[in-house]
Structure formats: C-alpha cells, structure tokens
Chains A and B, each alone.
Chain A
C-alpha cells in the first residue's frame, strides 16, 4: 500500500533523507526509529505530500505523491509531530472543517463524528477551543482528524508524545485494533512502543536506512533488548 522509491530530500547542505526505499503492506505496522534529526519527520512529511522530494517518489494506495498528490492525501490519515491546529477553533469546529475538506457530509459526517469522538476520548473537550487544551488532548484531536475518514493508510508522527501512561496504553490499543485492516507507519523514540505495536522496524540515521527487520528478529540477532540494539546500531553509525 506504500511504496517508497529512492526518496531524497535535503535542506541546503544538510541531507535529511538520503535515497530511502521500502514497502509497507496492508496489516503491517511499521515503526520508524531513529535518533533526533535522523530524517523520520521529513520522510513522513514527504509521504503525507506536505514536502516535495528532491529526487525519487512514493505511492500511497497506488497514487503517486507527486503526480496524484490530492488522491494520495485523500486515502491517508496523517498525524503531524506537534498536532498543529487552528487555536481559535473549537475541537468540533476543527473536526467539521476536516470533514468539509474531505467531503464527508450529512449522515456520513454524523456517523464519522459519533465513531471518532468517543474512540479518541474527546467528548469532554468537544466544545473547547484548541488553545485551551492540554498537550494530551491536542494529540487526541490530531489523532481524531487523522482517523475521521477511516483511511487505509495511517502515518503517525510520534502519536503518544505528551500522553500520560494510561493514554499511551489506549493509543497503542487503538493502533493494534486498526492494524489488521490498515497500513500504518509510526515514528517514535520510545522503544517499548515499537515492541507494543510494530510488526516491523526500520532504523534510520542521517537520512539512511540502517536496519529493516522485525523487533523480534532484532532482539534475537543482537541477543539483547531493543534499547541496546538501538544504541549499538546508531552508536556504530555515529562512531
């Protein structure tokens, strides 16, 4: 469902993503791991059609991110790093705006809101403005807007960042429940999250893919926990 072909993007002299290629199938949850500045967010932004690659391309549900950008965006849900939204709008206002943009109307909209609001536990803040929300609620609103059209492909940039342990557990459960019918990419620093939700892991550093494996295989191969695996791989790279 996602096919990435030699994607490259640089910002001035800094190469953020350097010729990465991979595929993700339906039913897979891919964990994108890497130290700060590894290129995870840049790669996700390119897949979400927010950034244009310098070279290479990718397809999302068969739609090319460069030539069929609108169709690709229609078939994916994207949660950005800081869940940006319009601060003066209410949660309901933001979700209705997303429905307008995604052409979800009438009964479909009512059904979508009735499904997503309790799913993301945002009933209590539905009429509150975004600027008054805590980081955890902001994250949940971001998740709700990404899921409102029930997309086939989900791209989640640090989905549990800022959530308390209970909320983290709930989000991981949510990802696990959706994983059978969707193709999901999750970027994270939290290695326990990779073990909890990901069926596959890609470790990237300095824009390049260092490892493409499953969490289980990595632990067996290095004969240690994922924390140690991550340290060994990325430290070797930095060294």
Chain B
C-alpha cells in the first residue's frame, strides 16, 4: 500500500508541477462549456444537464488520451522507469498508482465544471439524482478511456504514437454504439452480432447511466473494461519495461 501511495502521490503532483494540468484544465473547461451551449443549452428551455453530458464521450476521446499518453511513454523515454522498478515497487502497485492518480486528476477536471451545475440550479429545479448519475457516467467513461490510454502508453515510448493509438481505440469503442453505425452494421450483420457490438460500446452504457439508470450491467461493463486494459498493460509493461 505504501509503494502504491508513493507512486500515486508522485504522479498526481507531477501533473501540477508541470504546465500539463493547467493547459489540460483550460482546454477541457473551455470545450465542455462551448459544446454545451452549441448543443442548444438555452434553446432546450429545460433546467437539466443533458446538453452538457451529451458531448462528454466525444470530448474525452481527445482529452483523456492526452492526459494518459505520458504515463509510461515518458518514464521509458527518460529512463526513470529504471529508478522506479529498482525500488521495492511491484508492477501492479506502479500501474495502479499511476492510473488512480490520473483518474483523480480527471475527476478534478470534471469537478471544476461545477459552475454548470450552479447555473442549472439557478435557472430552474433540476433532478439532482440525474446530475449525479451523469457525473458518475462521465467518471466511469473517463476511467475506461484512461485504462486504454495507459495500455497504449506502455505500447510505445513515443507519446504521439500512444496518443494516436488511444484516440483510435476510444473512437471505435464510442462510435460502435452510435445509432448510425448500428443501423449500417445491421444491413449485413446478423442481429445478435449487432447487439453484441452495441453492448461492447461505451456509448450504450454511458447513455443508460445518463438516463438515471444505474444498472449492474453498465457499472460492471466499465469495471471489467478498466480492469482488462490495466491487466493487459501490466503484462506488457513487465515484458517491455527494459526495452
């Protein structure tokens, strides 16, 4: 636990001791607001945050890999991975320490969108439970994207390559569940395969949580997805850390 906390603390601090955190937060907050109002926040004439949550997966496709790409690629490029793994720290502790630090950083970014909640509460009487499940869905989606980003950060020492691969993987997992994609797939794939693809997509589970339905199948999808990518990243890191 101590080793996990050491990595966690170091990683979280490193976001704020470099300009990364500030650049990330400014861009994220700007686009989350811009997309909300572009979506027709005022035109809807409803005191809710649907317009805000609707575009979050699309924003995360670019923002989360940018926060994740440095996690292992930078360690391997600079060589600090040699310092890290000659300390009494296991691969699992290091991977989880970095993952949770980055996840907390993304949670901080989400928390800083609180003016949106205040605005909605000022304008009307929104369903608070719906807002809470909306944020939970965003946090789980960010965790899923982050686990994918962590994996691709292990794949290459080059941060740009890690970023591009993560964006592609996240895009596939989001767009696979879009109605247009599913209707196209249903023209040549059997119904059970289309349904399987739909269930593998982020979008389906994200939307389900956005509607206020906190179902076991949706939460377990995100938990399994995060665990799967983290385990895959750990195995790969163990093989390639000295490469």
Query: A-side interface residues toward B, CB under 8 Å?
Result: 45, 48-51, 69-71, 73-74, 78, 80, 82, 84-89, 93, 97-98, 100-103, 145
Contacts and interface: CB of A to CB of B under 8 A. Distances in A.
3 tightest A-B CB contacts, nearest first? A84-B79, A100-B6, A101-B87
Contacts of B18: 88
Contacts of A74: 88
Contacts of A88: 14, 17-18
A82 B85 CA distance: 15
Interface centre among B2, B13, B82, B86 (most CB of A within 10 A): B86
B38 interface: no
A50 B94 CA distance: 14
B17 A101 contact: no
Given A45-B82, A78-B86, 17 more contacts: A50-B241, A70-B88, A80-B79, A84-B78, A84-B79, A84-B83, A86-B80, A88-B14, A88-B17, A93-B13, A97-B6, A100-B6, A100-B9, A100-B10, A101-B2, A101-B88, A102-B87
B9 A73 contact: no
B87 A86 contact: no
Nearest to A76: B86
Contacts of B104: none
8 contacts: A50-B86, A73-B86, A80-B82, A84-B80, A84-B81, A84-B82, A101-B2, A101-B3
B195 interface: no
A82 B86 CA distance: 14
Interface in B33-65: none
A14 to B, nearest CB: 13
A45 B88 CA distance: 14
A101 B9 CA distance: 11
Contacts of B183: none
B160 interface: no
B93 to A, nearest CB: 9
A80 B87 contact: no
Contacts of A82: 79
A45 B85 CA distance: 10
B83 A85 contact: yes
Nearest to B10: A97
B10 A86 contact: yes
Nearest to A9: B242
B86 A87 contact: no
B89 to A, nearest CB: 6
B107 interface: no
B70 to A, nearest CB: 11
